[in-house]
């Protein structure tokens, strides 16, 4: 018999996906360049030329059986070494290859991390607003995702409610900074306080509570500031990374789990990931992609366009009277809608060819997300539409 729980999921179509499909369909009518599509978080800037060159060089120069052969079940060692060295030099933690497990993006990394530390019946806590895919990532393991309501002012952590919700059932806490959808970067203060709570509660319950840190936007930080590196503040941290955004490679499915060297049994956790992989049929990212990413590990795409777009949008939104926390990173902004029902608000916006995503799916009703990973020229062209929308509907 076909398994009902997966069949049941078929009805629940992703809101983001539906809006993106609307944008594509509307684009066929009026030209996609005239649809102000802020729905999807697909990087808009090209990969660094060095990545393409590395790929071509590998294809031309390396023995094909070796290049395309099985990678070891823990990933290609030299790749793991380069990732570890890069993390060590950038963030000062003594990572070694043995702490790194390459995965198919951050999705794969989270899937492995959750399976390492939780059993069916356990709870994983996350903080709104949160990436909606955390639902299936966690719930399909048999553990349960519990969402701590948002700090609706600054999108840091609502510690009061968090401390009420954490319990002996909490296997791990899953955070995302810089945050999709709010663009907020957790401050050092937030991370220190979070670590304190986790230490205290781990001690109280006599069992470790792990921190799973989802960091695909780590390299997209605005204002020249340095975002605090999460694992520095809490030993039992499993960092989940993706090169999707930093190198504009979302389709190539490449990322990793990095287990903090200070975490108990850190190397064992990495080896457990390889066992988990056997069960989920993952078996390493593509070998050529692993090798090419290792060669360009210190590079990023030209990410400056995202900051340019953010500045334009933040200024305009504020001008128009939106309550809008200034993003510290990512390519998202998360203003408060101009009416309580953000779904109604976003539906009205569609009439102005503005494709905005209501915050409801991110666990934060009343807000909406704009993904500004689009050309600056289009952001600028969208401003009159945004103004017209606000003035016609809300003045």
**Number of helices (H), then strands (E), in the chain:** 14, 12
Q: Does 287 bind its own copies (CB under 8 A)?
A: yes
Q: Does 27 bind its own copies (CB under 8 A)?
A: no
In the chain, helix, strand, coil percent, each to 5?
45, 15, 40
Sequence-ordered list of residues with C-beta below 8 angstroms from that of 256, at least 6 positions apart, any chain: 75, 80, 83, 100, 101, 102, 103, 109, 240, 241
Instruction: Identify which of residues 65 and 153 has a Cβ nearer to its own copies in the complex.
Output: 65
Q: Does 390 bind its own copies (CB under 8 A)?
A: no
What distance in Å separates the CA atoms of residue 177 and residue 216, rounded to the nearest whole number? 9
Contact in structure between 330 and 179 (CB atoms under 8 Å): yes
Q: Does 371 bind its own copies (CB under 8 A)?
A: no
Angle made by CA atoms 312, 317, 319, in degrees to the nearest 5: 95
Closest distance between its own copies and the C-beta of residue 274, in Å?
9
Q: Does 250 bind its own copies (CB under 8 A)?
A: yes
Instruction: Identify which of residues 34 and 271 has a Cβ nearer to its own copies in the complex.
Output: 271
Q: Does 167 bind its own copies (CB under 8 A)?
A: no
Closest distance between its own copies and the C-beta of residue 153, in Å?
32
Q: Does 278 bind its own copies (CB under 8 A)?
A: yes
Instruction: Identify which of residues 16 and 338 has a Cβ nearer to its own copies in the complex.
Output: 16
Q: Does 237 bind its own copies (CB under 8 A)?
A: no
Contact in structure between 264 and 236 (CB atoms under 8 Å): yes
Instruction: Identify which of residues 158 and 237 has a Cβ nearer to its own copies in the complex.
Output: 237
Closest distance between its own copies and the C-beta of residue 148, in Å?
22
Q: Does 251 bind its own copies (CB under 8 A)?
A: yes
Q: Which of 18, 33, 52, 154 binds its own copies (CB under 8 A)?
A: 52
Give the interface segment with its own copies, choosing from 82-90, 98-106, 307-315, 332-340 (CB under 8 A): 98-106
Q: Which of 30, 140, 225, 323 binds its own copies (CB under 8 A)?
A: 140
Angle made by CA atoms 368, 370, 372, in degrees to the nearest 5: 170
What distance in Å separates the CA atoms of residue 309 and residue 214, rounded to the nearest whole number? 24
């Amino acid at each position: 018999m076909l398994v009902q729980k997966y069949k049941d999921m078929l009805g629940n179509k992703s809101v983001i996906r539906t809006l993106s499909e609307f944008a594509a369909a509307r684009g066929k009518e009026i030209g996609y360049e005239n649809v102000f599509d802020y729905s999807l978080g697909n990087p808009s800037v090209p990969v660094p030329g060095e990545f393409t060159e590395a790929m071509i060089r590998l294809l031309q120069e390396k023995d094909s059986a070796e290049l395309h052969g099985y990678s070891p079940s823990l990933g290609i060692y030299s790749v793991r070494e380069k990732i570890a060295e890069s993390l060590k030099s950038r963030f000062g933690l003594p990572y070694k290859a043995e702490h790194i497990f390459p995965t198919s993006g951050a999705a794969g990394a989270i899937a492995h991390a959750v399976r390492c530390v939780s059993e069916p019946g356990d709870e994983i806590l996350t903080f709104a607003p949160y990436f909606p895919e955390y639902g299936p990532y966690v719930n399909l393991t048999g553990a349960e995702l519990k969402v701590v309501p948002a700090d609706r002012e600054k999108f840091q952590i609502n510690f009061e409610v968090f401390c009420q919700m954490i319990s002996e059932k909490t296997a791990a806490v899953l955070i995302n900074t810089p945050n999709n959808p709010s663009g907020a970067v957790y401050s050092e203060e937030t991370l220190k306080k979070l670590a304190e709570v986790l230490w205290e509660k781990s001690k109280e319950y006599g069992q470790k509570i792990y921190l799973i840190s989802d960091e695909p936007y780590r390299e997209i930080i605005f204002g020249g500031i340095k975002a605090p590196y999460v694992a520095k503040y809490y030993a039992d941290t499993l960092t989940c990374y993706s090169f999707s955004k930093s190198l504009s490679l979302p389709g190539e499915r490449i990322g990793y789990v990095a287990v903090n060297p200070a975490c108990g049994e850190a190397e064992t956790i990495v080896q457990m990931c390889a066992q988990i992989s056997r069960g989920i049929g993952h078996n390493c990212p593509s070998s050529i992609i692993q090798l090419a990413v290792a060669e360009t590990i210190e590079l990023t795409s030209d990410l400056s366009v995202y900051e340019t777009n953010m500045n334009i949008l933040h200024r305009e939104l504020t001008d128009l009277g939106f309550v809008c926390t200034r993003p510290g990173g990512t390519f998202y902004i998360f203003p408060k809608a101009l009416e309580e029902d953000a779904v109604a608000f976003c539906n009205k916006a569609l009439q102005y060819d503005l494709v905005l995503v209501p915050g409801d799916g991110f666990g934060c009703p009343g807000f909406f997300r704009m993904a500004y990973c689009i050309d600056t020229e289009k952001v600028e062209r969208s401003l009159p539409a945004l103004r017209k929308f606000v003035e016609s509907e809300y003045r």
